[in-house]
Chain A
C-alpha cells in the first residue's frame, strides 16, 4: 500500500509543479515506484516539465468519466524502468469536471500499485485544491522567501489542518543566498517560526532549474546541481532518512570569514 502526498502552495508560481516533477524523479531514482498526478485541469504543465507531452493519449478526466482504464492513461517515463508514471490532467475542460469523491477512489486504486503517489495541486483554494487534497495522506506546502507566498502558505496550512491528513510539511523553494544572507529576504528561521510547521527541506535558486525544465528533463537528474541536491535530500527525508539541512550561507566562510564572524558577534 503506497502513500499519497499532495504538493500545494496556495499562491501560483512558487514551484509546485517543478517540485512535484523533481521529487517524483528523485524518489524514482531511489528505486521507488512513483505515480505523479497532475490535477491542474485546464492548465496542465507537469507533462511538459517531465518531457512527456507527446506521449499523452488519455487524461485524468477520461479515467474519471470511464472512457479508459487508469493503466491506459498513465504515461511511462522511459528513463526509469517502470519507476515513474504520470497521470496527466485534461486540458480541454475545467476543474469542475472532477469531484473529491472521484479523486479519492482513483487514488485509493493507484495506492495499491505504487509506493508514492505525488499529487500536483493547482494554485488557489477552490475546487481544484479540494480535489487535489481529497485523496492525500500527507501534504507538502511549497513556499518561497516572499511575504506574499508565506501568507498564502499560512492560509493553505490552515485549510489542510482542518482536513483528515497528517500535519503538512514545508519546503522553502527558490532561496537566493545573497538576498537571504543580506537580510533582504525572509530567512528560513523567520518562515518556519511564522508558519510553525516542520521544515522538510530548502531548495536554492538555480538557473538550471528553468533550463532543464524547458528541456523536459528535471534538474534532479544532475547530481552536482545545488537545487538537485536539495530535492534529493527531501526525497531521502520522505523515505525516512535523517539528512541534515543544507546551509544557506555556505561559501562565505573561509578562515577569515569565521574570524570575522567571531568578532562581529
Chain B
C-alpha cells in the first residue's frame, strides 16, 4: 500500500460500515471521503454506518460528513457511531440515567423532582407532586400528581404499590383520574401507568411492565 487509507469501507450483515480514521486531519479525511463516495461503483441503495472512532465531531462536522455521503444517490446513512462524547453530554447522560431515591412523604403543596428516574419510598398525598424526566416508582400510595418523562420521554412509566393518583402525566399527555375513566380499578394495587400507542394513558398490572417496556430494565449482573 503506497498511501495510508483514511476511509475504509467494510461490508457487514447490517450493511456497509465506513470507518473514518481518527488520527489524520479532519480536512484530509473529508477529502478522501468525498473521493471515495464519488468513484464508488455501487448499484442500488445501500445503508451505511459511520464509525468516527476516537475523533470527536461536533454537530457541523457530522452534518458535513452526512452531506458528503448523501452526495452519492446510492448511499444512505443509517447510524453514526463514535467512541467519544463531550463531558457535558456525558454528565447529562449520567443524570438522565441515574435513579434518585426520596424517602419520606410528599405532602400537599410539596414538589419532588428528579433528572432521571425517581423512587419514592413513602406516600404521595393529594396535592403533592412528583416529577421525573425518567420513570416514577412509588413504594407506597400515590394519591397526588405524578409527571413522568417530563422532558418528553414517552417511554417513561409511573408505577406504584397503590395507584390512586388524581392526575397522571406522561411526557405531555395528562389524564385526570376521574370516575368516568374506565381504566381505573377498584383495588388499584401494584399497578403501572404508561402511554399506550393509541396516545392515551393506560393502566396495567405492575407485572406487565416487563412486556410493555422491556427497555426500562437497567439491571446488570446476576444469572
Contacts and interface: CB of A to CB of B under 8 A. Distances in A.
Interface of A: 151-152, 154-155, 157-159, 161, 194, 196
Q: Interface majority SS on A: helix, strand, loop or mixed?
A: helix
Interface in B122-179: 122-123, 125-128
B54 interface: no
Nearest to B107: A158
20 contacts: A151-B108, A151-B127, A152-B108, A154-B107, A154-B108, A154-B125, A154-B126, A154-B127, A154-B128, A155-B108, A155-B109, A157-B107, A158-B105, A158-B107, A158-B109, A158-B110, A158-B128, A161-B107, A194-B125, A196-B123
Contacts of B104: 161
Interface string B79-108: 000000000000000000000000011011
A154 B109 CA distance: 9
A158 B107 CA distance: 6
Contacts of A154: 107-108, 125-128
Contacts of B127: 151, 154-155
Contact of B126 (A151, A157, A161): A151
Contacts of A158: 105, 107-110, 128
Contact-size category for B: 10 to 19
Contacts of B108: 151-152, 154-155, 158
B126 A196 contact: no
Contacts, number: 29
Given A154-B108, A155-B107, 5 more contacts: A154-B127, A154-B128, A158-B107, A159-B109, A194-B125
A154 B141 CA distance: 15
Contacts of A159: 109
Interface of B: 104-105, 107-110, 122-123, 125-128
A151 to B, nearest CB: 6
A194 B107 CA distance: 10
A158 B108 CA distance: 7
Contacts of B123: 194, 196
A159 B108 CA distance: 9
A154 B128 CA distance: 10
A46 B128 CA distance: 33
Nearest to A194: B125
Contacts of B110: 158
B185 to A, nearest CB: 20
For the complex of A and B, the 8 pairs showing the least CB-CB separation, nearest first, are: A158-B107, A155-B108, A154-B108, A155-B109, A154-B107, A158-B110, A154-B125, A196-B105
A156 to B, nearest CB: 9
Quick one: which of B105, B107, B126 has the most chain A CB within 10 A?
B107
A132 to B, nearest CB: 18
Contacts of A161: 104, 107
A157 B106 CA distance: 11
Contacts of A155: 107-109, 127
Contacts of A151: 108, 126-127
A54 B49 CA distance: 90
A154 B126 CA distance: 9
A157 B123 CA distance: 14
A151 B109 CA distance: 10
A158 B124 CA distance: 12
A250 B23 CA distance: 87
